[in-house]
Amino acid sequence: MFLDAEEYEKLIYDGSGFIGAGESKMQQWMIFFVEHDKSWTPMFSSALQDLAHKFGGDIQIAVVNSRVEEELTLAYEVYQSPRGFFIDKEGVAHVFTPVVPELNKTVEWIENREFKHSPLRFKAPPLQNKAKLYWSYVKKEVRTWYKANLRDKVEHYLRKVKFSYIVDMDPMDFKEINNLNTKTDRQLIFILAGVWWIIESIWDLLSAPAQ
């Protein structure tokens, strides 16, 4: 099924929180954010149809057009497509690490509960209101720029000094990573704090009375 903001609030998250799926409210979801004009979209659609047939309704399969459904896309902090999430019965969204929903790998990922080691997990979020939407834009732009221009260089030195509080020592060890963005955000905070300290020190130096 194609999922838009209205259907999301009706089927997955209303004003009071996660509501599940189906009559029992205990069914699970797989949501995939895609761009419909990409060359890989037909292959992706075929794979999702196979999954829907395999799960037979026990797990609801949904597709979100990431270019159109901006509020929903930013709520899940999807900055690049394709990106998938598995939402369990408790309403926790786990990023789908295999990326491409190949039938056997996806079934194995779910049945073996490999999603419990997903590097990005959070409660299924509500849609963004206007204030949160603007903040999401800011986070997206800052994170995207930092990852493209500085993160690799910064993390190289952080790993050398084993500063594990703000860098994942092994970025592929998903069992040790709880949130892909947490360490990146900490790095940004440390950098901003350092820049502020330098500016403040220079200001204090320049504004100090002459002896």
pLDDT tens per residue, range 83-118: 899 998 888 899 888 777 888 888 888 888 888 888
Residue where a domain stops, chosen among 101, 123, 145: 123
Per-residue three-class SS string for 138-204: HHHHHHHHHHHHCHHHHHHHHHHCCCCCCCCCCCCCHHHCCECCHHHHHHHHHHHHHHHHHHHHHHH
> What is the domain count for the chain?
2
First vs last Cα of the chain: how many Å apart?
Answer: 74
User: In CATH, what number is assigned to the domain containing residue 61?
Assistant: 3.40.30.10
8 A C-beta contact, residue 66 and residue 35: yes
Residue where a domain stops, chosen among 99, 123, 147: 123
pLDDT, one tens digit per residue, over 183-195 is: 888 888 888 898 8
Domain extent at residue 99: 5-123
This prediction has a pTM of 0.76
| Confidence check: pLDDT of 65 > 70 | yes
Residue where a domain stops, chosen among 97, 123, 149: 123
| Nearest Cα to Cα of residue 9 among 115, 96, 139, 129 | 129
Whether residues 116 and 134 share a domain: the answer is no
Whether residues 87 and 10 share a domain: the answer is yes
Q: Show Cβ contacts of residue 41 under 8 Å, excluding neighbours closer than 6 positions.
A: 34, 35
Cα–Cα distance measured from residue 36 to residue 135, given in angstroms and rounded to the nearest whole number? 26
